[in-house]
Homo-oligomer: A and B are copies of this chain.
Amino acid sequence: MPPRASIAHSLLDTISALISLLALDRLPRTGWLLAGIDDPETIAGHIVSTAHVVLALGPNVDPALDVDRALALAVVHDSPEAWTGDLPKQVSEGLPPGAKQALEARVADTLLSGLSTTARERHAEYAAGETRESRFVRVCDKLQLGVQLLAYERAGLGDLDDFVETLRSLDCSEFTPAVAFQTNLLAALEECE
């Protein structure tokens, strides 16, 4: 009897991909770095925290989301950055349309396919943004920026007005609990000033 899923990769590829992905624990979120936070959140830290935001808001979304699948999307959403690093908007805004997505897809083809076709599919679903779960995780990705921003502002790390603006201009209207969360984050940020 064949295995449940076709194995398009050897375990050596799997091990190699898993070891490459460990770099997520060392690579900085560059937006904070360029704003003067010298030892910022790592990409791994951002992924875990985004998953926590999904867990906080997802169960209250109406109509109900598949929260567990949303978590799977959160887990893989920035995996290609193990190789590309976190390209800041100073770079990504200057790239030709679609270039960053094409780069990430090319990396995902190696790194995530090295794990499993499921891993590759979850990233593709996130990248396409066509399912409600994928759009929800994109919103949570931005709201997580608000969580870390609030932590930095409370710690007195300051020149972060652009990030407040990014959070303020985020359109969460598809997901009611996200709107309430955004409002509360912005209110908490105002208390820091």
Contact = CB atoms under 8 A, between A and B. Distances in A.
Interface of A: 3-5, 7, 11-12, 14-15, 17-28, 30, 33-42, 44-45, 47-49, 51-53, 55-62, 64, 66-69, 71-72, 74-76, 79, 83-88, 90-91, 94-95, 103, 106-107, 110, 114-119, 122, 147-148, 150-152, 154-159, 177, 180-181, 184-185, 188
A110 to B, nearest CB: 8
B71 A151 contact: no
Given A4-B61, A56-B119, A150-B15, A48 B48 contact: yes
10 contacts: A4-B60, A15-B185, A18-B147, A19-B151, A23-B30, A25-B45, A26-B28, A26-B45, A55-B75, A156-B156
A56 B18 contact: yes
A58 B119 CA distance: 10
Contacts of A68: 66, 68-69, 71-72
A22 B148 contact: yes
Given A39-B39, A52-B75, 10 more contacts: A19-B150, A20-B90, A25-B48, A34-B83, A48-B48, A48-B75, A55-B115, A55-B118, A56-B114, A59-B116
Contact of A158 (B47, B79, B155): B155
A115 B52 contact: yes
A173 to B, nearest CB: 17
